[in-house]
Amino acid sequence: MSTSPSSPFRELHQSGNPFVLANAWDLGSARMLAAMGAKAIATSSAAHAFTLGLADGGLVGRDAAIAHGVDLNEATSLPVSGDLENGYGHSPDDVAATVTAAAAAGLAGCCIEDTRLPDTAPYERDESIARIAAGVAAARASADDFFLVARADGVMLGTYDLDEAITRVQAFESLGADGVYIPVLSGMDEVKRVCDSVSIPVNVLAVGRLNQHTLAEFGDAGVARVSLGSALASVTQQAILDGASPIFTDGSFTGLAKGADGSLIDEMLS
């Protein structure tokens, strides 16, 4: 078991005093986010898949996902957490292998979800518990402090309800998970209910109705971490649509007038 002191990444996780886990998708976006004040970076499976010309949903393998995390880790001095989907395999051993590899590669932590990718069906609760137990054991065996967040994705995917999600994250807490995450909650009442249901840090995804709330409001609900997921990458994708669609429909280049100041971006990247 690791005897290393608490990592700077772990110390960011304070329930009621949330930080933003800024999901990047390449070296440039990671450096821009760091320059704008991000305290930690995360990968995004969907955003990373987009850079490879792939759809989201388990199509990027373990080695590529971890190598991407290493690239972002080397792009800035900030800690990087990996969005490592379902651990790239169905068995507890697969999850353990993924966590071990991520920790050995120098990532500060990761998320592991409970979806049987590439399908959207969840693992049965007992399977999910066994998988997270294996991930926790691997994290604790790491030479460095590694922050493992266990996800319950059924609410987002419509495969189980919030009661089941809370039952799962409570079980994950009892196993020793460092944090828990139920993506796409419907509003602040659900956020507070989740935070009240566990005593470990809760990650919330700032999408849907939740992107109408401030960081302070998330703190009032008990949140420790707010992640962006693929939302910021999607804003970038919308910019491509807005800028290029007029070119190929009307022959108009006016959509390109909204571009960022290149000198400002160069300054952020330097």
Tell me, what amino acid is at 262?
A: G
All domains of the chain in start order, with CATH: 8-234 (3.20.20.60)
**Residue range 31-42, pLDDT digits in tens:** 999 999 999 999
Give per-residue pLDDT as tens, 85-128: 999 999 999 999 999 999 999 999 999 999 999 999 999 999 99
Concatenated DSSP letters for the chain?
A: ---PPPPHHHHH--TTS-EEEEE-SSHHHHHHHHHTT-SEEE--HHHHHHHTT--SSS-S-HHHHHHHHHHHHHHSSS-EEEE-TT-SSSSHHHHHHHHHHHHHTT-SEEEE--B-TTS-PBPPHHHHHHHHHHHHHHHHTSSS--EEEEE--HHHHTSS-HHHHHHHHHHHHHHT-SEEE--S-SSHHHHHHHHHH-SS-EEEE--GGGGGS-HHHHHHHT-SEEE-TTHHHHHHHHHHHHHHHHHHHH---GGGGG---HHHHHHHH-
CA-CA distances (angstroms) from residue 5 to 10, 17, 143, 246?
A: 10, 21, 11, 54
Paired tokens of 154:
């059924």
Q: In which band, very low, low, confident or very high, does the pLDDT at 5 lie, cut at 50, 70 and 90? A: low
Q: Which residue has the higher pLDDT, 11 or 260?
A: 11
Angle between helices 231-250 and 27-35 (to 10 degrees): 120
Distance CA 67, CA 117 (A): 20
Question: Which pTM value belongs to this model?
Answer: 0.94
Confidence of residue 1 (pLDDT cuts 50, 70, 90): very low
Q: What angle do CA 92, 185, 18 make, to 5 degrees?
A: 85
Write out pLDDT tens, residues 40-92.
999 999 999 999 998 887 789 999 999 999 999 999 999 999 999 999 999 99
Q: pLDDT tier at 270 (50, 70, 90 boundaries)?
A: confident
Cβ contacts of 48 within 8 Å, gap of 6 or more: 25, 60, 65, 68, 83
